[in-house]
Protein backbone atom coordinates (compact mmCIF):
# COMPACT_ATOMS: atom_id res chain seq x y z
CA UNK A 1 0.00 0.00 0.00
CA UNK A 2 1.38 3.46 -0.88
CA UNK A 3 2.29 5.72 2.03
CA UNK A 4 -0.27 8.10 3.50
CA UNK A 5 0.48 11.73 2.60
CA UNK A 6 -2.48 13.35 4.38
CA UNK A 7 -4.40 12.06 7.34
CA UNK A 8 -7.06 13.72 9.45
CA UNK A 9 -8.49 12.49 12.72
CA UNK A 10 -11.74 13.72 14.19
CA UNK A 11 -11.39 16.98 12.29
CA UNK A 12 -13.91 19.61 13.29
CA UNK A 13 -14.34 23.16 12.08
CA UNK A 14 -16.80 25.78 13.21
CA UNK A 15 -17.03 29.47 12.37
CA UNK A 16 -17.60 31.69 15.36
CA UNK A 17 -19.55 34.89 14.97
CA UNK A 18 -22.81 36.08 16.45
CA UNK A 19 -23.94 32.56 15.76
CA UNK A 20 -21.59 29.58 15.81
CA UNK A 21 -21.76 27.73 12.50
CA UNK A 22 -20.43 24.17 12.58
CA UNK A 23 -19.05 23.19 9.16
CA UNK A 24 -17.09 19.97 9.55
CA UNK A 25 -18.01 17.25 12.05
CA UNK A 26 -15.29 14.73 12.86
CA UNK A 27 -13.72 14.12 9.48
CA UNK A 28 -11.42 11.10 9.31
CA UNK A 29 -9.55 10.99 6.05
CA UNK A 30 -6.54 9.35 4.49
CA UNK A 31 -4.99 10.37 1.18
CA UNK A 32 -2.38 8.01 -0.23
CA UNK A 33 0.65 8.98 -2.30
CA UNK A 34 -0.08 9.16 -6.01
CA UNK A 35 -3.86 8.75 -5.84
CA UNK A 36 -6.44 11.07 -7.36
CA UNK A 37 -9.31 11.83 -5.02
CA UNK A 38 -12.43 13.81 -5.86
CA UNK A 39 -14.37 15.52 -3.09
CA UNK A 40 -17.96 16.26 -3.93
CA UNK A 41 -20.83 17.78 -2.05
CA UNK A 42 -23.32 20.58 -2.16
CA UNK A 43 -22.33 24.21 -2.06
CA UNK A 44 -21.57 25.29 1.50
CA UNK A 45 -21.03 21.70 2.63
CA UNK A 46 -17.44 22.51 3.73
CA UNK A 47 -15.42 21.13 0.79
CA UNK A 48 -13.27 24.25 0.35
CA UNK A 49 -12.89 24.64 4.11
CA UNK A 50 -11.56 21.07 4.28
CA UNK A 51 -9.18 21.74 1.40
CA UNK A 52 -7.82 24.89 3.09
CA UNK A 53 -7.23 22.95 6.30
CA UNK A 54 -5.50 20.12 4.40
CA UNK A 55 -3.21 22.72 2.79
CA UNK A 56 -2.34 24.38 6.11
CA UNK A 57 -3.99 27.62 5.04
CA UNK A 58 -6.65 27.32 7.73
CA UNK A 59 -6.71 25.71 11.15
CA UNK A 60 -9.32 23.25 12.44
CA UNK A 61 -11.36 23.93 15.56
CA UNK A 62 -10.32 20.52 16.84
CA UNK A 63 -8.85 17.29 15.56
CA UNK A 64 -5.53 16.50 13.95
CA UNK A 65 -4.07 16.97 10.50
CA UNK A 66 -0.96 15.01 9.59
CA UNK A 67 0.90 15.85 6.40
CA UNK A 68 3.55 13.30 5.60
CA UNK A 69 3.21 12.15 9.20
CA UNK A 70 3.78 15.62 10.72
CA UNK A 71 1.06 17.06 12.95
CA UNK A 72 0.74 20.54 11.49
CA UNK A 73 -0.70 21.99 14.70
CA UNK A 74 2.82 21.68 16.14
CA UNK A 75 4.33 23.89 13.43
CA UNK A 76 4.95 27.61 13.76
CA UNK A 77 4.12 30.17 11.09
CA UNK A 78 7.43 29.81 9.21
CA UNK A 79 7.31 26.02 9.29
CA UNK A 80 3.76 26.09 7.92
CA UNK A 81 4.94 28.39 5.10
CA UNK A 82 7.77 25.94 4.37
CA UNK A 83 5.30 23.06 4.37
CA UNK A 84 3.10 24.86 1.85
CA UNK A 85 6.14 25.61 -0.23
CA UNK A 86 7.65 22.12 -0.25
CA UNK A 87 4.84 19.63 0.21
CA UNK A 88 1.67 21.20 -1.15
CA UNK A 89 0.62 22.79 -4.41
CA UNK A 90 -2.62 24.73 -4.81
CA UNK A 91 -4.88 25.13 -7.83
CA UNK A 92 -7.84 27.46 -7.44
CA UNK A 93 -11.06 27.92 -9.35
CA UNK A 94 -9.63 31.12 -10.76
CA UNK A 95 -6.06 30.78 -11.98
CA UNK A 96 -4.74 33.56 -9.66
CA UNK A 97 -1.60 34.07 -11.72
CA UNK A 98 0.22 37.32 -10.98
CA UNK A 99 -0.47 39.83 -13.73
CA UNK A 100 2.97 41.46 -13.36
CA UNK A 101 4.74 38.18 -14.20
CA UNK A 102 4.93 36.19 -17.44
CA UNK A 103 3.70 32.61 -17.68
CA UNK A 104 7.21 31.24 -17.09
CA UNK A 105 7.90 33.68 -14.23
CA UNK A 106 4.62 32.77 -12.56
CA UNK A 107 5.62 29.12 -12.65
CA UNK A 108 9.10 29.91 -11.31
CA UNK A 109 7.69 32.01 -8.47
CA UNK A 110 7.30 29.17 -5.92
CA UNK A 111 10.98 28.28 -6.49
CA UNK A 112 12.09 31.89 -6.08
CA UNK A 113 10.03 32.25 -2.90
CA UNK A 114 11.66 29.12 -1.49
CA UNK A 115 15.28 29.54 -2.54
CA UNK A 116 15.73 33.08 -3.90
CA UNK A 117 16.88 32.02 -7.35
CA UNK A 118 16.36 29.30 -9.93
CA UNK A 119 19.13 27.12 -11.33
CA UNK A 120 19.36 26.26 -15.02
CA UNK A 121 18.33 22.64 -14.42
CA UNK A 122 15.19 23.66 -12.53
CA UNK A 123 14.38 26.26 -15.14
CA UNK A 124 14.71 23.65 -17.88
CA UNK A 125 12.50 21.24 -15.93
CA UNK A 126 9.79 23.87 -15.56
CA UNK A 127 10.00 24.82 -19.24
CA UNK A 128 9.64 21.15 -20.17
CA UNK A 129 6.54 20.96 -17.97
CA UNK A 130 5.09 24.02 -19.68
CA UNK A 131 5.86 22.51 -23.08
CA UNK A 132 4.26 19.29 -21.90
CA UNK A 133 0.98 21.14 -21.16
CA UNK A 134 1.12 22.95 -24.51
CA UNK A 135 2.39 26.30 -23.25
CA UNK A 136 5.84 26.20 -24.83
CA UNK A 137 4.89 29.14 -27.02
CA UNK A 138 3.45 31.15 -24.11
CA UNK A 139 6.52 31.35 -21.85
CA UNK A 140 6.87 35.13 -22.18
CA UNK A 141 3.19 35.97 -22.28
CA UNK A 142 1.42 37.65 -19.39
CA UNK A 143 -1.85 36.19 -18.03
CA UNK A 144 -3.96 38.82 -19.78
CA UNK A 145 -2.49 37.65 -23.09
CA UNK A 146 -3.59 34.04 -22.61
CA UNK A 147 -6.94 32.22 -22.65
CA UNK A 148 -8.66 30.98 -19.50
CA UNK A 149 -7.68 27.39 -20.28
CA UNK A 150 -4.07 28.37 -20.89
CA UNK A 151 -3.94 30.32 -17.63
CA UNK A 152 -5.34 27.37 -15.71
CA UNK A 153 -2.79 25.03 -17.33
CA UNK A 154 -0.09 27.48 -16.31
CA UNK A 155 -1.51 27.44 -12.75
CA UNK A 156 -1.31 23.61 -12.75
CA UNK A 157 2.36 23.73 -13.69
CA UNK A 158 2.92 26.39 -10.99
CA UNK A 159 1.37 24.02 -8.44
CA UNK A 160 3.83 21.34 -9.54
CA UNK A 161 6.89 23.62 -9.75
CA UNK A 162 8.26 22.76 -6.33
CA UNK A 163 7.69 19.04 -6.95
CA UNK A 164 5.16 18.71 -4.09
CA UNK A 165 3.72 15.39 -2.92
CA UNK A 166 0.19 16.75 -2.77
CA UNK A 167 -1.78 19.07 -5.03
CA UNK A 168 -5.03 20.51 -3.69
CA UNK A 169 -7.38 21.71 -6.41
CA UNK A 170 -10.48 23.71 -5.53
CA UNK A 171 -12.89 23.42 -8.46
CA UNK A 172 -10.08 23.88 -10.98
CA UNK A 173 -12.43 23.61 -13.96
CA UNK A 174 -15.25 25.64 -12.45
CA UNK A 175 -14.36 28.75 -14.34
CA UNK A 176 -13.77 27.10 -17.71
CA UNK A 177 -16.00 26.07 -20.56
CA UNK A 178 -16.73 22.37 -20.90
CA UNK A 179 -14.01 21.64 -23.42
CA UNK A 180 -11.28 23.56 -21.60
CA UNK A 181 -12.43 21.98 -18.35
CA UNK A 182 -12.03 18.50 -19.83
CA UNK A 183 -8.57 19.39 -21.14
CA UNK A 184 -7.44 20.78 -17.79
CA UNK A 185 -8.78 17.75 -15.93
CA UNK A 186 -7.08 15.39 -18.38
CA UNK A 187 -3.88 17.26 -17.83
CA UNK A 188 -4.14 16.98 -14.06
CA UNK A 189 -4.81 13.28 -14.38
CA UNK A 190 -1.80 12.89 -16.66
CA UNK A 191 0.40 14.80 -14.25
CA UNK A 192 -0.89 12.66 -11.42
CA UNK A 193 0.13 9.51 -13.29
CA UNK A 194 3.39 10.85 -14.75
CA UNK A 195 4.75 12.67 -11.70
CA UNK A 196 3.13 10.49 -9.04
CA UNK A 197 1.80 13.43 -7.05
CA UNK A 198 -1.43 12.96 -5.11
CA UNK A 199 -4.35 15.14 -6.21
CA UNK A 200 -7.27 16.10 -4.03
CA UNK A 201 -9.84 17.84 -6.19
CA UNK A 202 -13.02 19.53 -5.05
CA UNK A 203 -15.51 19.48 -7.89
CA UNK A 204 -19.16 19.84 -8.75
CA UNK A 205 -18.65 18.03 -12.03
CA UNK A 206 -19.83 14.45 -11.58
CA UNK A 207 -18.16 13.28 -14.80
CA UNK A 208 -14.79 14.45 -13.52
CA UNK A 209 -15.45 12.84 -10.16
CA UNK A 210 -16.17 9.56 -11.94
CA UNK A 211 -12.69 9.73 -13.49
CA UNK A 212 -10.99 9.99 -10.08
CA UNK A 213 -9.56 7.02 -8.16
CA UNK A 214 -11.84 7.65 -5.22
CA UNK A 215 -14.86 9.82 -4.55
CA UNK A 216 -15.48 11.34 -1.14
CA UNK A 217 -18.81 12.95 -0.37
CA UNK A 218 -19.21 15.65 2.23
CA UNK A 219 -22.75 15.83 3.39
CA UNK A 220 -23.90 17.93 6.32
CA UNK A 221 -20.32 18.31 7.51
CA UNK A 222 -19.64 14.58 7.54
CA UNK A 223 -17.58 12.61 5.05
CA UNK A 224 -18.13 9.25 3.53
CA UNK A 225 -16.62 7.44 0.60
CA UNK A 226 -18.82 6.64 -2.37
CA UNK A 227 -18.03 3.79 -4.68
CA UNK A 228 -18.29 4.73 -8.31
CA UNK A 229 -21.49 2.81 -8.93
CA UNK A 230 -23.18 4.42 -5.97
CA UNK A 231 -22.04 7.80 -7.24
CA UNK A 232 -23.33 7.05 -10.76
CA UNK A 233 -26.73 5.98 -9.45
CA UNK A 234 -26.88 8.96 -7.12
CA UNK A 235 -26.00 11.31 -9.93
CA UNK A 236 -28.60 9.83 -12.30
CA UNK A 237 -31.18 9.98 -9.53
CA UNK A 238 -30.59 13.69 -9.14
CA UNK A 239 -31.13 14.37 -12.86
Q: Does 204 bind another protein (CB under 8 A)?
A: no
State which residue, 83 or 211, has the beta carbon closest to another protein.
83
Give the 3-state secondary structure of residue 47: helix
Q: Between vectors from CA 125 to CA 122 and to CA 126, what angle results, nearest 5°?
A: 90
HSE, CB side, 13 Å, CA atoms: give it for residue 139: 12
- Judge whether 72 and 80 are in contact, CB under 8 Å: yes
| Dihedral over Cα of 187, 189, 192, 194: its sign | negative
| Minimum distance of another protein from residue 82's CB (angstroms) | 7
- Judge whether 171 and 93 are in contact, CB under 8 Å: yes
Q: Are strands 62-67 and 70-71 parallel, antiparallel or unpaired?
A: antiparallel
State which residue, 21 or 98, has the beta carbon closest to another protein.
98
Beta strands in 120-239 (DSSP E): 166-170, 198-202, 214-219, 222-226
Query: Among 10, 28, 58, 227, which residue interacts with another protein (rule: CB under 8 A)?
Result: 58
Q: Does 84 bind another protein (CB under 8 A)?
A: yes
Letters for 140-179 (x = contact with another protein by CB under 8 A, - = none) are ------------------x---x-----------------
Query: Among 18, 20, 69, 99, which residue interacts with another protein (rule: CB under 8 A)?
Result: 99
Q: Does 199 bind another protein (CB under 8 A)?
A: no
Segment interacting with another protein (CB under 8 A) among 2-10, 35-43, 94-102, 195-203: 94-102
**Sites of contact with another protein (CB under 8 A):** 52, 55, 57-58, 77-78, 81-86, 90, 92, 96, 98-101, 109-110, 112-117, 158, 162
Amino acid sequence: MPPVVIETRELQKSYFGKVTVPVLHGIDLRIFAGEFVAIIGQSGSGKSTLLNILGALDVPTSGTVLINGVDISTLDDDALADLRSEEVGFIFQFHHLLDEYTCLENVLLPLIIRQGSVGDAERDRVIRLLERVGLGHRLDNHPDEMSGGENQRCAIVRALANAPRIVLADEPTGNLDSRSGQEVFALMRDMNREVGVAFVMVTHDDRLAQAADRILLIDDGRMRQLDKEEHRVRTEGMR
